[in-house]
Structure 1
Amino acid sequence: MAGSRMKLELSRVVQGRSRLGVLRGLGRTGQHSLEVPGCLLYTHFGTVPHLTQDTLHTLSNLPSVTQVTLSNIAEHQEVLEEFKDGFRKFAGLHDTVLYCSLHDPATFCPTGYTTNKTVSVWGSGGRIELTVAKFMALQKTVQPDWYQSMADGETWQNNTSRKRVRKSVDRTLTHLDECLLVHQKSQELEGVEVFGVVEGGDILEERLRSAKETAKRPVAGFCLDGLQTGTMDQALRTQLITAVTKELPEDKPRLLQGVGRPDEVLACVEAGVDLFESFFPFQVTERGCALCFSFDVSPDPERAGRAPPAVLELDEERDTAGETQQNGGLNLDDQTQMTSFEINLKDKRYQDDFRPLVDGCGCYCCKNHQRAYLHHLLVTNELLAGVLLMIHNTAHYHSFFDALREALANDKLDLLKRRVLREKVTSF
């Protein structure tokens, strides 16, 4: 563990907090890298929802790290143990770095089931209780390249008492120490990296204590937990993340769990976050919606390798969708509510709309199909609707991260924020 291969090389730090760089030394052999700020590839049991591996690889700007979750994998432990060759080979995932997290960020996780010794994950068959021993046995079976340590993350509800938050930080540190102990003695996990989890609910002192203590351990990076969309006001989240990142070493990555909306991504990058989970395109797809927000900051959109700007449509539909989001309302429905960054293709207005989802988008869906066709597929419940929407939403979201890195490199972050948040922007 002492000689962690994973290394964050920063090329710029903008306004003291936003970090631009490359995370190098990923994977058992260390040959992979990931640009930051960046995101991971979200999967269900190793597969991007709605997409086959072939379809997925029609997309050009995919991240090198694939996220799998124990909530999907735990119930298949026996099958994987019998297989013996790890999850990557089992799922046919070639040439990717495997990151294993505890929970699925797109799925609501019931609370009230942690104890001093256990945490619970929820698979299709219901609740699975994990001790550190069972958690680590799963990691040995999955054989990821990096994983988050076991953590008590049940303090994201606003009314959690200070005593309960303190207990969550204590338990999480204890779990981390126990995981590291097993990890260091395990041959199967040689060369595998561990991310420590920073908890602390909405209590600043506990967040700082969790960060400082976790940073003392031999971890390769940090997961910031309990700050999910819909659980906390954006201003408070930014304040907590800014304080926490000051306590974390500069050369180790910070991964934020459960936050995916573009406006929130921008705020969290400004607070010092490096990595995100890309579950947001999946949620948008499940709503029958298409991501349709502008993020172009380059003077020459026709330049090689980048799609021209997304056409910005200030239709009423997107404006009304935005109203439910801007108030930072603290309900869990935020995860399922339509946002101002998408258009609802089930809406009748699209039945005679023969434009692509986003003008200038280079994805397969936008090049070959029109909004009217997507509307038809959705109202007739055709499976192809999910496939085409997931292709576009994944491509659009990852292009947003490309634009974010470009904006940081060229001092255009403020312009990007105006584009994404639609300030001072007129409709086409």
Structure 2
Amino acid sequence: MKLELSRVAQGGWRLGVLKELGKTRRHTLEVPGCLLYTRCGTVPHLTQDTLNTLRNLPPVTQVTLSTIAEHQEVLEEFKDGFRKFAGLHDTVLYCSLHDPATACRTGHITNKTVSVWGSGGRIELTVAKFMALQKAVQPDWYQSMADGETWQTDTSRKRVRKSVDRTLAHLDEILLIHHKTQELQGLDVFGVVEGGDILEERVRSARETAKRPVAGFCLDSLQTGSMDQVLRTQLITAVTKELPEDKPRLLQGVGRPDEVLACVEAGVDLFESFFPFQVTERGCALSFNFDISSDPERAVLEMGEESGTAGDSQENGAVNPDDQTQMTSFEIDLKDERYREDFRPLVEGCGCYCCRSHQRAYLHHLLVTNELLAGVLLMIHNTAHYHAFFSALREALAHDKLDLLKRRVLNRGGDGQEEISPLEGGDKGE
């Protein structure tokens, strides 16, 4: 893969295109951007035909070893890789270690192994088993093994240092096997940057990982709930200074819009798009404003009106750090009785099938009666809305409107969305 940057802020955000993706080297992915989140190769609640009704989806599909490791024997017997096995066809396949929408269990890391959890329980992975899985899955790029059990704030410095050492040792073994294995030629490996909340270890991990022949970097143990956004931004800023500019940086476990904006400003290129799924599971709909097409006079007026609250992400998107299942202020809870007779679309101006064809009252009815269609319609909307947000983010960077976008997103969240204006930046092309 090859990263071409068109605009770069000093020590901050990057705008560009990730080119030559996949074995055919013909796919591209705009950055900042996100991957398509799946579970065992399927976007939750959606069939492949339903998913194909959505436009402007990323060309990179994420699968996780936590959901497919237990199928290793089947994939080895199939021989043609997971993409063909799951009917994914024309997509770039990225294989990560853990499911970002599921909390990782701790206490099962050794010097030689890491563990993932499938439907049948814990699966312990040595480097040899990990690489055998990559041969069976045949992804286009994959994340190296890592000891990521340092996201808790009370982790000792000694434990964090051991995490960095183990992760680097795993990477060295994996690269050695990778370059000797014919079936893995042409695949890209992402090194993992660990270090918990200790700045010195983060920097050391980044420097050492950057010395290895990796195609990009995964920033791990910085997920939502692990630390406050100020500390996360400081660590990411320090890490990205140690990484080469021509290789992409993928942040794991962060999906909230306010956190995405802060991390993009710190130099992150790619994100995992699990947040729409979490919102859907709560019976909620994403409903935040990212319209940056307003006329200049209106923008100046709103700048004055919002100057007292702009950037207050703790108030406008905060969650309980110990409970990532809590509703955020970027969504509306359609199970609430207030929506029983609300005949508006989820978001005015949104072009997704759900907003074009159904009202909030209908979604409320489906949710309170436990109809499976509720998850389908919510996932359609939440996926379209979230990816349209990333399109607006890239447009804002290209036209020097990032401050305007931040005011829109950070000050127009959740139930405060009842009177939002149409989303000119939404997905209207379906």
TM-score (norm 1): 0.91
Residue 13 (structure 1) aligned to one of 8, 12, 32: 8
Residue 330 (structure 1) aligned to one of 300, 315, 321: 321
1:241 correspondence with 2:236: yes
1:368 correspondence with 2:357: yes
Question: Residues 312-359 of structure 1, C-alpha deviation per residue, up to 9 Å, x if partnerless?
Answer: xxxxxxxxx985953x7532x0x2110000000000000100000001
**Paired position in structure 2 for 1:213:** 208
Residue 332 (structure 2) aligned to one of 343, 346, 349: 343
Residue 12 and residue 324 in structure 1: after superposition, are their counterparts in 2 closer, same or farther (change >3 A)?
closer
1:297 correspondence with 2:286: no
Question: Residues 277-335 of structure 1, C-alpha deviation per residue, up to 9 Å, x if partnerless?
Answer: 000000000000000000010248xxxxxxxxxxxxxxxxxxxx985953x7532x0x2
**Paired position in structure 2 for 1:159:** 154
Aligned length: 400
**Paired position in structure 2 for 1:125:** 120
Partner-residue secondary structure (3-state), 1:130: strand
Alpha-carbon distance in 1 for matches of 2:118, 2:135? 19
Superposed displacement of residue 119, structure 1:
0.2
What are the equivalent positions in structure 2 for 1:14-413 lying under 5 Å apart? 14-299=9-294, 325-326=317-318, 329-331=320-322, 333=323, 335-413=324-402
Residue 167 and residue 135 in structure 1: after superposition, are their counterparts in 2 closer, same or farther (change >3 A)?
same
Alpha-carbon distance in 2 for matches of 1:404, 1:360? 18
Partner-residue secondary structure (3-state), 2:184: coil
Alpha-carbon distance in 1 for matches of 2:19, 2:281? 34
Structure 1 unmatched runs, 5+: 1-5, 301-320
Report % sequence identity.
84
**Paired position in structure 1 for 2:301:** none
Task: Note if contact 1:70-1:100 (Cα within 8 Å) is conserved in structure 2.
Answer: yes
**Paired position in structure 1 for 2:426:** none
Structure 2 letter corresponding to 1:330: P
Task: Note if contact 1:14-1:408 (Cα within 8 Å) is conserved in structure 2.
Answer: no
Task: Note if contact 1:322-1:340 (Cα within 8 Å) is conserved in structure 2.
Answer: no
Partner-residue secondary structure (3-state), 2:271: strand
Question: Residues 81-128 of structure 1, C-alpha deviation per residue, up to 9 Å, x if partnerless?
Answer: 111100000000011000000000000111000000000001111100
Superposed displacement of residue 16, structure 1:
3.5
Partner-residue secondary structure (3-state), 1:49: coil
Structure 2 letter corresponding to 1:134: K
Structure 1 letter corresponding to 2:393: L
Superposed displacement of residue 265, structure 1:
0.1
Alpha-carbon distance in 2 for matches of 1:322, 1:32? 37
Partner-residue secondary structure (3-state), 1:420: helix
Task: Note if contact 2:289-2:412 (Cα within 8 Å) is conserved in structure 1.
Answer: no
Structure 1 letter corresponding to 2:41: G
> Please, which moves more after superposition, 414-423 or 110-119?
414-423
Alpha-carbon distance in 1 for matches of 2:268, 2:47? 31
> Please, which moves more after superposition, 121-130 or 418-427?
418-427
Alpha-carbon distance in 1 for matches of 2:56, 2:287? 18
Alpha-carbon distance in 1 for matches of 2:18, 2:156? 37
Task: Note if contact 1:233-1:329 (Cα within 8 Å) is conserved in structure 2.
Answer: no
Question: Residues 188-215 of structure 1, C-alpha deviation per residue, up to 9 Å, x if partnerless?
Answer: 1110000000000000000000000000
Task: Note if contact 1:8-1:252 (Cα within 8 Å) is conserved in structure 2.
Answer: yes
Alpha-carbon distance in 2 for matches of 1:242, 1:72? 32
Partner-residue secondary structure (3-state), 1:188: helix
Alpha-carbon distance in 2 for matches of 1:367, 1:423? 22
Task: Note if contact 1:148-1:196 (Cα within 8 Å) is conserved in structure 2.
Answer: yes
TM-score (norm 2): 0.91
**Paired position in structure 2 for 1:315:** none
Alpha-carbon distance in 2 for matches of 1:278, 1:87? 20
Residue 298 and residue 53 in structure 1: after superposition, are their counterparts in 2 closer, same or farther (change >3 A)?
same
- RMSD across aligned positions (CA): 1.6
Alpha-carbon distance in 1 for matches of 2:159, 2:47? 43
Alpha-carbon distance in 1 for matches of 2:180, 2:314? 51
Task: Note if contact 2:112-2:126 (Cα within 8 Å) is conserved in structure 1.
Answer: yes
Alpha-carbon distance in 1 for matches of 2:143, 2:183? 16
Residue 42 and residue 423 in structure 1: after superposition, are their counterparts in 2 closer, same or farther (change >3 A)?
closer
Partner-residue secondary structure (3-state), 1:367: helix
Partner-residue secondary structure (3-state), 1:135: helix
Superposed displacement of residue 29, structure 1:
1.3
Superposed displacement of residue 252, structure 1:
0.1
